[in-house]
Structure 1
Amino acid sequence: MSRLFRRQSARQSVTLSLSQDRVLLGCCQPEPKFEQEPCSGQNDWGRAIADLLQRTQNSGADVRVLLSASLYQQVQIEKPDVPEEELAGALPWAVKDFVNEPVLQLGIDYYHLPSNPASRPRLAVVCASKARLQLVAHAVNQVAVLQQISTEELGLVDLLGLQEPLQLLLFQPPGQDLQLLAVCRGQLCFSRQLRGFARLAQQGFDNLQPDLLDNLSLEIQRSVDYLVAQLKLPAASMLHVAIASPDLGGLIRHLAANFSMPVQAMANPAVAAGLEYLPLFGNLQVLEVA
């Protein structure tokens, strides 16, 4: 995916994550640092971004922006039967019945999804309001240099790097639904929200109902079966868990007892700062490798 907006530079870089009520910041030089600033809607982004960059001594830096899920729409479609050079022009009309804004008012980008070899290729199409993208660009460029706009979900993909084996990430930021992602060679293969598991981050393992834990294992297994049987992907080699559970160790042991793949808690500087920073840390890892 071209990540909606991107340019090249060699200056100091930071990553921001935008939502309607706050702006998060992550940077890795000289050491990992994570900060946030509350805001009152997108019209307050400019003030929040300026405050954050000044407070962390990053005014004038190169900035990559991640949009939270509420700020864009994403749909999966069969790849239009057009030459690759005509694909960008065909996408607005391919998604027009699945989005809630006029397609000519949307900035549209895409990335390829794995599909059954016997089926037509599929795309994930990311759509964001052009007015919102322009607002992001203006807010950042007032105090820094915008390099890229992407999504928090793709920041999570970057966490798992370019490893060949298929890996799973079970992620639950505070106050949000559980999310399961499958990643192979740096490509998002599958993403699914698992609803009804809010108590995982609210109660200790011993206080959770056995049915809840069994349902979680069942939902993960259903996703694994879909990846192997329908998408013809290899069996997952690892399940990473990033949940702010009061007894994460107990949850890890339960999952490990139900699956043949290794299960491990994700550990990095962002986890210590707060799970909401994980997408930023993934994006920063890409910068470090580059």
Structure 2
Amino acid sequence: MQISWRQYLTLKLAKRNAIFSLGISIGKHTHYVVGLVKQGAEVYWAHACQFDITSFKSEFSLWVKANNLAGTPTYISYTESYYQLLQVDRPDVEENEVHTALQWPLKELLTINNEVAYDYFDLPVQISGQHKINTVAIEYHHIESMSQLMLDLHLDLKQIVVEEIATCELVHSHSEAVLTLVQELSGEICLTIIKDNRLYMTRRLRGFDNLGQFSPDELRMGIIESLCIQIQRSLDYFSNQLRQPPIKHIFLRLPIDHQDIIAEDIEKVIDMPVSLLTPAIAMKIDININDFSLNALGAAMIALHKSNSRSTHEAA
């Protein structure tokens, strides 16, 4: 576990009702935890810590108990190594029967041999003549053990999601479609197209997981060009196949030193503004966002946007 004494004492002395939400990123080797704090109308990122997967259960339990976090709304997001995301034909059944009907096509398509927990979400738009849905499957024992831990710690587990859904929360305020390139540490680049907090398409870009090992000159010897080809294919698919208005902005956040250079070169090749993805939330914590998990932050921010949605409905 890595957390500074200042962060520990701040959380230790905080009043229970100041903790707005916890976001937990379940990674291959490391689990990350984000704590959002609310003071008046302001919600900000105040706590960030990480736990080795081998000691997560014991150390996270001690951390929660020491800081009196029982009852805190908690959101979990799994990283790519834990799940399979597949697009399948929507079963021709009543809405309340869709989940049950999916077990048969998933049984044929999944490469997971153990019992799985699965769910689905609809696509905002379809290719003409198709009726697809996105399905997510995770080995059941992962869900069961994590849910039981939250129950044992009296944390209020609100939702379990995956990276692509957590990323939607990071660009929640954009009403026009944006393309994002986000990479977790030791993971592959996740390309998503998001509009109005809805996931229109997603792809994993294979072969770009070691970008941090290359110098700027090496990146410019074909690597950035290959990345731009993948981006352009996704932009074309969104505009031509899904018949949506062209995307006008790309957001990028990669855990490498040269992401500014990559952003600049993509902007030149694609001829579109490219910005580093900076979540729309105040930070009162001394961390390098490139070395932490945006997946955990996105999970925690689900609570923020659910709260804003409730406030809007109440005002109406």
TM-score between both structures, scaled by the size of structure 1:
0.85
Q: Hey, what does 2:234 align to over in structure 1? A: 223
Match of 1:157 among 163, 168, 174: 168
Map 1:118-267 → 2, pairs under 5 A: 118-143=128-153, 144-267=155-278
Deviation (angstroms), 1:189: 1.4
User: Which is further off, 269-278 or 202-211?
Assistant: 269-278
| 1:207-228: CA deviation from partner (whole Å, max 9, x where unpaired) | 4243112111111111111111
Letter in 1 for 2:145: L
> In 1, Cα distance between the equivalents of 2:241 and 2:206?
23
Q: Distance in 1 between matches of 2:133 and 2:196?
A: 17
Q: Give the CA deviation at 1:20.
A: 4.6
| RMSD of aligned Cα (Å) | 2.5
Q: Find 1:26's aligned residue among 17, 24, 34.
A: 34
- 1:17-96 mapped onto 2 (5 Å cutoff): 17-29=25-37, 31-32=44-45, 33-40=47-54, 45-54=56-65, 58-96=69-107
How far did 1:11 drift? 7.5
Q: For structure 2, list consecutive stretches of 5 or more residues without a partner in the other structure.
A: 1-17, 39-43, 308-316
Cα distance in 2 between the residues matched to 1:130 and 1:210: 43
Query: Shift of residue 263 of structure 1?
Result: 0.7
Q: d(CA) in 1 for partners of 2:31 and 2:209?
A: 24
Shift in CA distance, 234/97, structure 1 to aligned 2, threshold 3 Å: same
Which residue of structure 2 aligns with residue 112 of structure 1?
122
- Distance (Å, rounded) in 1 between the aligned partners of 2:185 and 2:21: 26
Give the conservation status (yes or no) of the 8 Å contact 2:89–2:133: yes
Q: Structure 1 residues 13, 249: closer, same or farther in 2, change over 3 A?
A: closer
Q: Between the two proteins, what is the percent identity of the paired residues?
A: 21
Query: Post-superposition shift, 1:179?
Result: 2.1
Paired residues of 2:185 and 2:293 also in contact (CA < 8 A): no
Contact 2:184 2:295 (C-alpha < 8 Å) held by counterparts = no
The superposition leaves residues 249-277 of structure 1 with CA deviations (integer Å, 9 ceiling, x where unpaired) of 22222111122321101124598344542
Cα offset, 1:199, TM superposition: 4.6
Following the alignment from structure 2 to structure 1, what is the Cα–Cα distance between the partners of residues 120 and 91?
12
Give the drift of 1:54. Answer: 4.1
Counterpart secondary structure, 1:29: strand
Moved more, 71-80 or 273-282: 273-282
- Give the distance between the partners of 2:225 and 2:97, measured in 1 at CA: 47
* Farther off after superposition, 235-244 or 22-31: 22-31
| Aligned equivalents of 2:264, 2:112: Cα separation in 1 | 45
Mark the CA change 1:247 to 1:56 in structure 2 (over 3 Å): closer, same or farther: farther
Q: 1:129 to 1:197 in 2, by over 3 A?
A: closer
Structure 1 residues 216 and 11: CA distance shift in structure 2, 3 A: closer
1:110–1:126: 8 Å Cα contact kept in structure 2? yes
Determine the structure 1 residue equivalent to 2:301. 285
Paired letter, 1:99: L
Q: Which runs of 5+ in 1 are unaligned?
A: 1-9
Counterpart AA for 1:67: Y
Q: Secondary structure at the match of 2:102?
A: helix
